[in-house]
């Protein structure tokens, strides 16, 4: 096995497998990422940024949070300026996005900032601790509160506003399915000669057959795909929590027809370690992230069944351009005293990275759903090139 591994986590996995001989890959992935003591997301080591394993849009440039703030401001106005307007961020990581959004709102939308209350839903204690230092000034103002996301999703507390996530659902544990001998088979993990190996078996739950029937596309013979049942549970929880307002989801993925296209024969599961990718989930246990592309068709259809109406769906670069990213780039150039200034060049390059075709700009999608509201024309989903 190459690279480092969390030996205690490996022992936990082996013990779990020994009890039942095999476990669904979704359970294996869940333990690796979310074990409350040894899981990847509970580790104190750096995960995001240059010293970590991957980047997220908030780490690229503060403009990402500033543009989102403009969309949230419009949502507040559409809802007739409720006080409080609760902004609930699930999977908030270091809290950079929270800091960027609140800082921009305080300077540009003081009336909105007055009514804004920010709830941070985060399962990882190390990340929660980091947030306390990043956003300590806002804590002192009583503008933010950290809450356990699972408790929030139980619906014990409801609010009006917007629940949003950025690169959250791609990290939910997924079931791996494969079509063999014209039957849907599930990937399980077993242990042979002290190594983790996969074997195929009958689906662990009837919900998997139903998933592909309702939210997917038929898998062709020999083809593999993921089923994210956890995402459906999350949508149910969000619906319980949101009394009236919006759900905004930013993540990488596709609608079902493209996600399960015959050309994508091996699925989309990827592992990230120090900014390199791998398709092997059985190495670097506890030291590499695991993700799978999001099925946006599942999110839309599940939401519709619960009463969440699609208010917009587009590529991230279109969403950001509609909110003024190109204008912000133009203003940056106008305000710069020197086109060779290192700070200016770094900022300009970072902002452009949010637009790169084939990267964050197009692979990432933005889905917005509404609850208790009629038809709306959200700024981020207006055609940014309609006048061209």
Angle at the Cα of 292 from the Cα atoms of 146 and 356, rounded to 5 degrees: 90
Is the backbone peptide bond immediately before 119 cis, with ω within 30 degrees of 0?
no
User: Which of 90-99, 243-252, 315-324 is least confident?
Assistant: 90-99
* Whether pLDDT at 56 is above 70: no
Note whether 241 and 86 are within 8 A (CB): no
Average pLDDT over residues 30-53: 79
Predicted pLDDT of residue 351: 64
Q: Which stretches within the chain are classed as H helix?
A: 7-20, 25-34, 57-60, 63-78, 96-108, 110-115, 125-134, 136-140, 149-153, 207-215, 229-241, 256-259, 296-306, 316-322, 325-335, 342-353, 360-363
The predicted pLDDT at position 197 comes to 95
Which of the four pLDDT bands, split at 50, 70 and 90, describes residue 121?
confident
73 pLDDT higher than 80: yes
């898998």: which residue's tokens?
219
The answer to whether residue 388 scores a pLDDT higher than 50 is no
Euclidean distance between CA atoms 344 and 327, whole angstroms: 16
pLDDT at 136: 72
Q: What is the percent of the chain where pLDDT is above 90?
A: 62
Say what the pLDDT of residue 360 is: 59
pLDDT for res 63? 87
What pLDDT is stored for residue 146 in this prediction?
82
The pLDDT tens digits for 274-301 are: 778 888 999 999 899 999 999 999 999 9
β-partners of residue 161 are 86, 245
Threshold 0.85, pTM exceeds: yes
Arithmetic mean of pLDDT over the chain: 87
Place of tokens 């040894």: 38
Query: DSSP label at 218?
Result: P
Q: Which residues, at least 6 apart from 245, have a Cβ–Cβ distance to it below 8 Å?
A: 75, 79, 159, 160, 161, 162, 163, 370, 371, 372, 373
Residue 315 CA to residue 320 CA, distance in Å, equals 9
The per-residue pLDDT for 340 is 59
What is the arithmetic mean of pLDDT over 102-109? Answer: 96
Q: Is the pLDDT of residue 161 over 70?
A: yes
The percentage of residues in the chain with a pLDDT greater than 70, rounded to a whole number, is 83
pLDDT tens digits, 297-325: 999 999 999 999 999 999 999 999 999 98
Contact 271, 278 (CB under 8 A): yes
Most confident range (mean pLDDT) of 37-46, 85-94, 121-130, 195-204 is 195-204
Phi–psi pair at 20, nearest 5 degrees: -130, 5
Q: DSSP character for 216?
A: S
The Cβ-side half-sphere exposure at 107, using a 13 Å CA radius, reads: 6
* Range of weakest confidence among 55-69, 246-260, 271-285: 55-69
SS (H, E, C) 303-341: HHHHCCEEEEEEEHHHHHHHCCHHHHHHHHHHHCCCCCC
pLDDT digits (tens, 9 = 90+) for 145-160: 888 888 888 888 899 9
């Amino acid at each position: 096995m190459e690279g480092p591994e969390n030996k205690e986590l490996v022992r936990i996995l082996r013990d779990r497998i020994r009890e039942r001989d095999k476990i669904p890959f979704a359970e294996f992935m869940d333990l690796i990422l979310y074990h409350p003591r040894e899981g990847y997301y509970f580790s104190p080591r750096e995960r995001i940024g240059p010293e970590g394993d991957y980047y997220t849009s908030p780490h690229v440039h503060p403009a990402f949070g500033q543009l989102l703030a403009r969309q949230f401001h419009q949502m507040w106005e559409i809802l007739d300026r409720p006080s409080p307007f609760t902004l609930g961020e699930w999977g908030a990581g270091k809290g950079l996005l929270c800091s960027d959004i609140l800082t921009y709102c305080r300077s540009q939308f003081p009336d909105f900032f007055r009514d804004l209350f920010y709830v941070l839903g985060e399962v990882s204690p190390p990340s929660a601790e980091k947030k306390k230092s990043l956003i300590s000034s806002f804590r002192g103002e009583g503008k933010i509160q950290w809450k356990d996301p699972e408790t929030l999703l139980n619906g014990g507390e409801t609010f009006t506003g917007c629940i949003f996530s950025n690169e959250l659902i791609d990290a939910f544990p997924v079931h791996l399915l494969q079509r063999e001998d014209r039957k849907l088979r599930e990937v399980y993990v077993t242990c042979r000669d002290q190594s983790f190996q996969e074997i195929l078996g009958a689906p662990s739950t009837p919900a998997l057959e139903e998933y592909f029937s309702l939210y997917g596309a038929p898998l062709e013979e020999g083809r593999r795909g993921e089923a994210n049942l956890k995402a459906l549970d999350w949508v149910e929880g969000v619906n319980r929590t949101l009394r009236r307002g919006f759900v905004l989801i930013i993540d990488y993925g596709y609608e079902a027809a493209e996600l399960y296209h015959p050309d994508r024969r091996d699925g989309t599961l990827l592992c990230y370690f120090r900014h390199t990718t791998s398709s092997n989930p059985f190495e670097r246990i506890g030291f590499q992230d695991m993700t799978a592309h999001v099925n946006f068709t599942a999110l839309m259809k599940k939401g519709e069944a619960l009463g969440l109406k699609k208010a917009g769906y587009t590529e991230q670069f279109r969403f950001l351009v509609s909110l003024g990213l190109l204008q912000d780039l133009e203003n940056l150039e106008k305000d710069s005293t020197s086109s060779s200034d290192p700070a200016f060049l770094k900022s300009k390059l970072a902002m452009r990275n949010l637009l790169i075709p084939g990267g964050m700009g197009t692979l990432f999608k933005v889905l917005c759903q509404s609850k208790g509201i009629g038809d709306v024309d959200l700024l981020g989903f207006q055609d940014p090139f309609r006048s061209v």
